[in-house]
Structure 1
């Protein structure tokens, strides 16, 4: 029995180092977690009610882009852009969806846009691109986040309808 007690005491005294593990600090854990997050990718893309029932992430994203492109094209079809600038067939629009579900539209002009009156086109776009349906913002780790993307919008001439 004495040998067992002696052996048990030796094991307990030698095993104390296994109980004193260094606990990482809160800042170290936070930095490690922040580095592991892919900030360029969201968990859920923005969506509109028409695309809510789609469960596949890529199909839902594609649906959202198609709906937004169609809505922007419909709003611009009723304007004179195609008459004022017949050579302008496509405008790239930078769409920003904010966490509060509001949206902002900015036209992206090519480098050689000196031939266009960018201020006039910009004002036409801002006047027309209003009253969109409710958009659910993108989600990252359960939190709504701001997202930006560029949509090519085809300007149809009045006689092409």
Structure 2
């Protein structure tokens, strides 16, 4: 009996969880959960009105990107560019969709040939964003978040 009592006391002393408060336990659980979240990915991509919010994440991303690319394509076709050389280049547009669904250009990565041939390209892309259809923000755990994206635009003068 005495051995059983000693064993019980040792178990009680070695079990530190009995002496920690529920607040500390809750804080540990919250920290563990926060570490498990992938903060570089969103649960739902920014969505235009014609995109299905119940679709899979891959379908949402595809709808978002296709709508943007179609919009850029239609905008660029409205302009007549006079070029000295044929161009077949990719331009990468980095932009931010904020918590309210407002989209802004962060950077346009293009080579010097495009800069020489189409110096107004940056302005055209920035202005075209103003005529985009309504856009809902990206969501992470049901909360609107800022999200950065990079979209390639292929310019082909032929």
d(CA) in 2 for partners of 1:44, 1:22? 38
d(CA) in 2 for partners of 1:68, 1:62? 10
- TM-score, structure 2 length as denominator? 0.72
Q: How many residues align?
A: 148
Higher share in strand: 2
RMSD of Structure 2 on Structure 1 (CA): 3.3
Equivalent residues in 2 for 1:1-161 (5 A)?
A: 20-23=18-21, 24=24, 27-52=27-52, 54-80=54-80, 82-84=81-83, 86-89=85-88, 90-110=90-110, 112-113=111-112, 116-117=115-116, 120-157=120-157
Aligned partners of 2:48 and 2:64 also within 8 Å: yes
Q: Compare CA radii of gyration and give the structure with the larger one.
A: 1
d(CA) in 1 for partners of 2:12, 2:70? 68
d(CA) in 2 for partners of 1:16, 1:136? 54
d(CA) in 1 for partners of 2:51, 2:133? 12
Shift of 1:150: 1.1
d(CA) in 1 for partners of 2:154, 2:93? 10
Aligned residue for 1:50, secondary structure, equals coil
1:85–1:32: structure 2 CA closer, same or farther, 3 Å change rule? farther
- TM-score, structure 1 length as denominator? 0.71
